[in-house]
Amino acid sequence: MSNKKKPAAGARRPASAGLRAQAQRAKERRTRRRRATAVAGCIVPLAGIGVLGTLIADRSADDPSVARAASGPVKVPAAAAPKAPTTLSYGPAHARNTLDVYEDPRCPMCGILERSVGREVRRLADQGTVKVNYHFAVFIDRAAGGTGSRFAVSALGAAADRGVTCFQRLHEELFADQPDETDDGFGNTGHLLDLAARVKGLRSPSFDAAVRDLRYLPWAESVGKEFQRSGPDGTPQMELNGQRLDVFSDRGEPLTPSHLTRLVRERGA
């Protein structure tokens, strides 16, 4: 499990050989899979905009343009929680249950967990059972080097400015095709735009410019600092109504959709 307090790249709870093999098989399946523009549409419609992504070179953390973007004014996404501007929420504001999700876009264990229960989390929110609060960490950029965690969170901020549905669908796409922890693939804004093209209605000139120009990078930096200040000691983690859930078994198996639903039913309000 990734842990922000350890400087070693990829520090996390040890995984069993079986879990590593499972993750590798899943990665190979995702590589073979050819998906169309997929998924349900965003709140904001796409009006005749082309979705051909332009490949933009990776920019390292010490690139002056990245430093300038990071030091700019903080633009809070429209869909951010009013009283918690570093948190992105999905689901009805007055749902009886609150599910807090803590993750880093580059954390491989977060990817395994999201690919196991992510759609069930969305289903529970869509049916009004839970409100989901997403808290993002960016510590793998410091531990392993690169900018991918921050750039991915910045892109999620740009999507959230177009609506919570856009954010949720892009979030799903990022974890569906998550690169290896040591591969700073999300540090390439062109690649992020290619993934965004799979979300119907998300690509537009304004969204593309926000991703390329790192318009939400100062916000992503503030998100990371808030996680450092008040978040848990590692990712992934989930809390249901303030109570921490066991997201991996002792054998390294991720929480399943049916188990999550049962926990919400048994421990929920």
CA–CA separation, 186 vs 42, rounded Å? 22
Residue 91's SS3 state is: coil
pLDDT mean over 34-58: 34
CA 234 to chain centre: 15
CA–CA separation, 59 vs 70, rounded Å? 13
pLDDT at 67: 80
CA–CA separation, 102 vs 163, rounded Å? 20
> Model confidence over 67-123: pLDDT tens digits?
888 888 899 998 898 889 999 999 999 999 999 999 999 999 999 999 999 999 999
Tell which wins on pLDDT, 40 or 241: 241
CA–CA separation, 29 vs 239, rounded Å? 30
Q: How many residues does the structure list for the chain? A: 269
CA–CA separation, 138 vs 115, rounded Å? 20
> Model confidence over 186-228: pLDDT tens digits?
999 999 999 999 999 999 999 999 999 999 999 999 999 999 9
φ/ψ (deg, to 5) at 11: -65, 130
